[in-house]
Structures are given as structure tokens and as C-alpha cells.
Amino acid sequence: MVAGASWGAPMERMRVPPAREGSWEDVLHRAGGEHGLLVFSGPEEEELLEQRDHRAIGVVYDPGSDHYSNYVPTLLSRRYDAFLYLDETRALRPLHPPWNGEPEEPETFPSGE
């Protein structure tokens, strides 16, 4: 993944460790599918109403604290209308290089005009 170690830090590629045991990411990984789409349409998804930890990674990330600070309690079918699960991904490549250390994007982003 691509993130910064702190707010305002330069972006860098980071390896995400395996999911915490019992989390939604762990359960879906153990289910054996490489990917899947869960669409929630009503109360019939009772098994998905079980609260589990769900990894929440943003633009700031510390892989060393992943197992104790990046999870939120989640009722999956109440948080999302649909959930796309990808078992393995690769870090994004920025469309544009970082802006010379400027803390904010240029006023003309994303058009460049």
C-alpha cells in the first residue's frame, strides 16, 4: 500500500501484515476466495450482523502498530450497502509525483490548469 508514516510525511510503499485473527479480513481470507462481492439487501444476512474487528487503513499508516491500532468494531452489513473483498492487492502508483514537499496539493489539482 502507499501511505505516510505521519501527517505530512512523504508517501511510501508499505507492506500490510496479515489480518488480525477473527477480524473480517481474516474470516474472508480463511473462507478461501481470492475476491468476492457481498451485497446487503436486508435482515436475512444475520450471520453478517456479528460484530468483528475490521481493519481501517488511511493515508497515515504504521505497520508496526497494525494489530492494535488499525481496527474498528464493525457490523459489516450495517456499515456498508456492499463490500468488495480482495484477498491480495498491490500498492498504487501515483498518477503525479509528489508536489515538491508542499504540504497541500496545488490549487489546480487535478486538472493542472
Q: What is the pLDDT of residues 76-101, one digit of tens each?
A: 888 888 999 999 888 877 776 665 55
Total domains present in the chain: 1
**Domain-located, residue 92:** no
Tell me, yes or no, whether 71 lies in a domain. yes
Q: Is residue 108 part of a domain?
A: no
pLDDT mean over 22-34: 89
Residue 103 located in a structural domain: no
Is residue 45 assigned to a domain?
yes
Element (H, E) at 47: none
The H or E element that residue 56 is part of is none
Whether this prediction's pTM lies above 0.75 is answered by no
C-alpha cell at 63: 505497520
96 assigned to some structural domain: no
Give residue for cell 481470492: 34
Domain region containing 47: 2-86
* Among the listed residues 84, 94, 87, the one whose alpha carbon sits nearest the alpha carbon of residue 59: 94
Half-sphere exposure of 69 (CA within 13 A, CB side): 8
